[in-house]
């Protein structure tokens, strides 16, 4: 019998509001149905959040397979990113939000002293190890790579409301942009977790996977 594949859903709760709930519920149900022919429903109870976390940005961490396996609540603190390393892996697949992040962690180990990585696949920019990317041009246009690994819920939301647009972005295109932002379920553009693109180019060399 093959080992059960476990998936992860991460949801932001802020000021008592479960953020982007419909996107998370849809992804969870679609993933479970594709792999297990079930459609579990997320029932996040505010009473389950520890009192000491209720005035903070809360990270709700859900593990699931054919049904919900666990729901945990943690205080969230965004990590600051000042430097990036481009890491190439033409074989990586992370099209579902797997609980097993070993393929991403293996690439992160190649960051060569940088805070975070940008994953390059077949010459195209994809994601970081933990987020989708949004590149800003000098005139303020915002583009996310169409060659993403994981179509994150925040990415879907920002595309749907027209805040960002999709575009193919290669390494050779980086000079066209001024800044790269990191977005995921816990991070909005307004959080400004970002790096100037010149800081990528200043230390630019590609680390390849084994």
Residue with tokens 């816990």: 186
Q: Quick one: 70 exposed, middle or buried, by C-beta within 10 A (0-12, 13-18, 19+)? A: exposed
- 3-class state of residue 55 by DSSP: coil
pLDDT band at 199 (very low <50, low <70, confident <90, very high): confident
pLDDT band at 1 (very low <50, low <70, confident <90, very high): very low
pLDDT above 90 (res 210):
no
Q: DSSP state, 5?
A: P
Task: Determine the length of the chain.
Answer: 210
Average pLDDT over all residues of the chain: 93
pLDDT above 80 (res 148):
yes
Indicate the range of 111-120, 147-156, 197-206 predicted with least confidence: 197-206
The span from the CA of 23 to the CA of 208, in Å, is 34
Q: Contacts for 23-27 with beta carbons within 8 Å, 24 or more apart?
A: 23/153, 23/156, 23/157, 24/153, 24/185, 27/97, 27/153
The span from the CA of 30 to the CA of 26, in Å, is 6
46 versus 162: the higher-pLDDT residue is 162
């Amino acid at each position: 019998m093959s080992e059960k594949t476990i998936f992860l859903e991460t949801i932001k709760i802020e000021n008592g509001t479960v953020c982007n709930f419909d996107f998370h519920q849809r992804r969870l149900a679609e993933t479970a149905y594709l792999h297990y022919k079930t459609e579990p429903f997320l029932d996040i109870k505010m009473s389950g959040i520890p009192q000491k976390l209720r005035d903070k940005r809360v990270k709700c961490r859900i593990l699931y397979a054919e049904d919900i396996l666990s729901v945990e609540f943690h205080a969230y603190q965004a990590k600051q990113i000042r430097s990036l390393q481009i890491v190439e892996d033409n074989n990586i697949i992370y099209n579902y939000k797997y609980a097993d992040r070993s393929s991403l962690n293996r690439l992160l180990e190649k960051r060569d002293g940088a805070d975070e990585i940008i994953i390059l696949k077949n010459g195209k920019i994809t994601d970081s190890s933990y987020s989708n990317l949004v590149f800003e041009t000098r005139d303020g246009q915002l583009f996310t790579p169409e060659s993403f690994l994981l179509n994150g819920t925040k990415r879907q939301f920002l595309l749907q409301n027209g805040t960002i647009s999709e575009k193919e972005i290669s390494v050779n295109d980086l000079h066209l942009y001024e800044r790269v932002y990191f977005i995921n379920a816990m991070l909005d553009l307004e959080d400004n977790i970002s790096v100037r693109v010149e800081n990528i180019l200043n230390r630019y060399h590609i680390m390849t996977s084994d």
